[in-house]
Structures are given as structure tokens and as C-alpha cells.
A and B are shown apart, each in its own frame.
Chain A
Amino acid sequence: MSFREPHELHKRRGGLNIGVGVVLVLFVAVVFGLTIAKVSTNGFQMKPGATSGQTQSQTGGGN
């Protein structure tokens, strides 16, 4: 049994797939970096009551 040599078309498609993969990984990295920058900037805070509201609904379910 022998493997056929990849056609030029498959090489080109492979290049496109790798390129798109790299772009997606870089996009995830940028979104991650942006998130870290946003939360570490002075003045960032969660919306008031965002966590307490969750707590209230949890406790309210028992009444």
C-alpha cells in the first residue's frame, strides 16, 4: 500500500486552513488580552447588585 503524493490543490487548501487557524487563535488571544486589560484598568467594577441579585433569587426560591 502506498500513499499518493498530495495534489497542488490540497497543498493550497492546507495553506488556507492553516492560515485561518492561525487567525482564529490570534483572535482568541486578542479578545483574551482585551478582557484582561479591561478588568485591570482603574475604575473597573461589576455592576452594583449583579452578585447580590443572584444571591437574593437563590434565597428567595426557598420562601
Chain B
Amino acid sequence: MSDATINQAGMATGEAGFGDYFALLKPRVMSLVVFTALVGLAAAPVAVHPMVAFASILFIAVGGGASGALNMWWDADIDRVMKRTARRPVPSGKVTAENALAVGLTLSVMSVVMLWLAAGAVAAGLLAFTIFFYAVVYTMWLKRSTPQNIVIGGAAGAFPPMIGWAVATGGVSVESVLMFAVIFMWTPPHFWALALFMKSDYENAGVPMLTVTHGRKVTRKHILVYTILLAPVALGLCFTSIAGPAYWTASIVLNALFLKGAVDVWRRDEPVAEADHYKVEKSFFKLSLAYLFVHFGAILLDATLKSMGVWA
């Protein structure tokens, strides 16, 4: 590439800066991966050397980032069409698709091998499966072929606390499966709420979101159904060893609020929603973010209180 192809804004040149490659790893998604994996690790009943814990979380984050890069490589064509994603490094032309693929594959292999060395085969195997599930099962297969894409694909985002737990214990247990299940069941109402007020984006890109294939009324009903199914899973964690006073309180309050929010979304119709610019749907989406963050924050708080001897 000659210097003559450079424009002043540094756009569409294929000459990326370090920040562009970092953006390829979806830092916001990575922060959620780090947080939930850390909670899984901290809640486990086995102490881990701080350096091993740090390195493991780092490699889990890198693995999550690698799957994000593979997603951007494959989805560049539809990302270019959607307003929300058009500024990503590949569709904006800052990073070439080939480089995104190379970064994704290299970091995938490296993160799995390093996690194996740091924490063992179970954690590394779960990370490898997560990357495969997100990049191949969700991105390449489900996303463009079924309106249930979010439901099944949500599993990829649900694995990090299980991996964190496996780093500490070397295995899988009821607690880690329930943490997985909370994120898995939470994902559909979270993304469908987003789809309700970002409708044109998915339509333009031809992504078969439920809102596009079955309409908004059905989507609202699905949000309610999944929120009802989510409540017993989240409350079920109350009966395990990792839940304490913080989790009990947070879970009861948040599930009541989330159920009320889902009922509010379900009872509305399009003319009403359009009239107030999807105010209720947007606040339900924000509540969903708080729902997950506070649930896992409460598990972390309970683990900290437990280690301080505040409760047994």
C-alpha cells in the first residue's frame, strides 16, 4: 500500500494502529468475560495462587477477544450495513479481513495452550469449546440461519464463569452450571429488548432476528417467557454453597423488577412504543445489564465476606 492511499482521518487505509487491533477484540464484551470468569474463580471453594489466577483470567480474556476477532472477520459484510457496527475495524477498512482472521486464529490457539499450562485441561478445553461455539456455531451457522440464533448462541457468553470455576477446582459442578444457566437464560431477553428498538439495523443486514421473522408481538411474548424461565434459575443459585446474604437479597429484588419489566414490555404495542421512542424497552434493556452485573457482583461480595469470616 502506498502512502498516497492514506486519507487524513486515517480511515479505510488498511493501515491500522494498535488501538484498532485492540478494538478487534471487542473490549466491552471482554470486560464482561473477565468479570464473570473472575466471579467463577473467586466463588470456587479452592484457593488459587494469585499469579495463576491473574494469568488464567488474562488468557480467558484473550480467548474471548480472539473469538470476537473471528466474529468480526466473518461478519464484516453485515457489520458494514448496520449503524451500530459500521465503525468496527474491519467494516471501516482500518483492519483487513485477512489480518482479523490471523489475529483471531493466533490468539485462539495461544490462549488455549497458555490456559492449559496455567490451569489444566478442563479449563483449557472449556475455553476452546467456547471459542469454537461463538465463532463457528453462532457466527458462521446460527446467526444468519435461525431466529433462535440468540438463544443457542448465548451459550458462548455463558461459559466464562464455568471456566473460572474450572481454573480453581479443575472440574464442573452444580454451582458453575447454574452460573452458566443464569447468563444463558438472561441473553435472549437482553438481546431481544435491544432488537425491539434497533429493528431497522437487523432488517437491513438480513439477520433473522425474532423481531424480523416473527414480528414484535411474538418477540415481546418471548421476552416475557424467557424472563419467567430465568427467575427460578437465578433463585436456584440461592440454595447452593456460593450464595450468601448479598446474593439472596439481590436475586429476590432483581427478579421481581425484571419480571415486572418484562410484563410491561409484553403489554405494550407498537404505536404506544413508537410514541414514546421505546422508553420502556430501553429501560428494560438497561435493567438487564444491571441484572447480570449485580447478580455476579453479589456472588463476588458473598465470596469476599465468606473469606473474611463474616458468614459461614
A interface, CB within 8 angstroms of B: 7-9, 12-13, 15-16, 18-20, 30-31, 33-34, 36-38, 41
Q: Establish whether residues B58 and A12, one from each chain, have CB atoms under 8 Å apart when the complex forms.
A: no
Binding site for A on B (CB under 8 A): 3, 6, 10, 15-18, 21, 49-52, 54-55, 58, 114, 117-118
Contact in complex: B18, A19 (CB < 8 Å): yes
Q: Do most interface residues of chain A lie in helix, strand or loop, or is the interface mixed?
A: helix
* Chain A residues with CB below 8 A from B3, complex form: 7, 9
Contact, CB under 8 Å: A36 / B10? no
Q: Report whether A37 and B52 are in contact in the complex, using a CB–CB cutoff of 8 Å.
A: yes
Q: Closest Cβ of chain B: how far from A33's Cβ, in Å?
A: 5
Using known A-B contacts A19-B18, A34-B118, determine if residue A8 contacts B52 with beta carbons closer than 8 Å: no
The CA of A15 and the CA of B16, in the complex, are separated in Å by: 10
- Chain A nearest CB from B9 CB (Å) reads 11
Whether B17 pairs with A16 at a CB distance below 8 angstroms is yes
A12–B10 contact, CB under 8 A?
Answer: yes
Which of A12, A31, A38, A41 has the largest count of B CB atoms less than 10 A from its CB?
A12
A16–B58 touching, CB < 8 Å: no
Q: Distance in Å from the Cβ of B224 to the closest Cβ of chain A?
A: 45
* 14 CB-based A-B contacts, threshold 8 Å: A7-B6, A8-B6, A9-B6, A9-B15, A13-B15, A19-B17, A19-B21, A20-B18, A30-B55, A34-B51, A37-B50, A37-B52, A41-B49, A41-B52
Which B residues lie within 8 Å of A15 (CB)? 17-18
Q: Which residues on A sit within 8 Å (CB–CB) of B54?
A: 30, 33
